[in-house]
């Protein structure tokens, strides 16, 4: 299965069952929980502790024949009353959502680096009448990193704006892909570009990732 097929399947599923070895904090159990699945596991490896897989003990079972009736009962209960059980995994999903930021803090705590370095927001700018002015303003700031300009020309590779300013040309597909990869934090739009905002929403870009430039 491709990554997209796995994601689509988990988004349709109500339960994810994993009686594997759990050699560490595996990706698929976390992906399943984030997609809204009830998670049922064994007690091998990392599944045995409440740090790597912090779910209630009632969803963890010994991998033994005598446990099968209880496992099946738990599975049936999750399927029959999904709304009543999915709330038990809210803490797990919250932990997963915060792991990227936690990793950044863990690295900062482990290495002798400057802790107060300002995080630069990686942005793409929608091509418009005032793009040159926007790029000029961004170039004077240290809290933004320009990734590229969103354009409609599918064959364009770069856009020039005078004064030898240029940046990569990105399609809507590029914008969505880079945002999903975590390589773009926001798309900046000029006032009056509500249709562009609607296109971003329809493509899966959340509201907080769309910024409006004040001219």
- The residues spanned by each domain of the chain are 3-109, 121-212
Residue 141: what pLDDT?
A: 81
pLDDT in the model for residue 85: 97
At residue 8, the pLDDT reads 93
Which of 125-142 are b and which e, b meaning 16 or more Cβ less than 10 Å from the residue's Cβ? bbbbeebeebbeebeeee
Give the per-residue pLDDT at 74: 97
Please state the CATH superfamily assignment of the domain spanning residues 121-212 in this structure: NAD(P)-binding Rossmann-like Domain (3.40.50.720)
Pairing of strands 166-170, 158-160: antiparallel
pLDDT tens digits, 33-70: 999 999 999 999 999 998 899 999 999 999 999 999 99
Residue 134, pLDDT score: 86
Q: What is the pTM of this model?
A: 0.52
Low-confidence stretches of the chain (pLDDT beneath 50): 164
Token look-up 């990193």 returns: 145
């Amino acid at each position: 299965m491709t990554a997209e097929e796995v994601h689509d399947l988990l988004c349709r599923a109500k339960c994810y069952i994993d009686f594997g070895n759990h050699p560490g904090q595996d990706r698929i159990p976390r992906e399943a929980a984030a997609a809204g699945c009830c998670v049922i596991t064994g007690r091998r490896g990392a599944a045995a502790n409440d740090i790597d897989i912090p779910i209630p003990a009632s969803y963890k079972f010994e991998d033994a024949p005598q446990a099968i009736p209880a496992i099946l009962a738990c599975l049936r209960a999750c399927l029959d009353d999904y709304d009543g059980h999915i709330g038990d995994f809210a803490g797990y999903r919250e932990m997963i959502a915060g792991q990227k930021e936690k990793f950044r803090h863990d690295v900062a705590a482990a290495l002798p680096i400057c802790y107060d370095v300002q995080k630069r927001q990686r942005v793409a700018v929608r091509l418009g009448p005032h793009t040159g002015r926007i790029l000029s303003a961004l170039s004077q700031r240290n809290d933004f990193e320009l990734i590229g300009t969103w354009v409609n020309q599918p064959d364009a590779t770069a856009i020039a704006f005078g004064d030898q300013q240029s940046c990569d040309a990105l399609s809507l597909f590029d914008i969505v892909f880079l945002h999903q990869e975590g390589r773009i934090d926001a798309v900046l739009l000029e006032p009056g570009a509500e249709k562009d905002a609607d296109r971003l929403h329809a493509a899966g870009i959340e509201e907080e990732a769309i910024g409006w430039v004040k001219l």
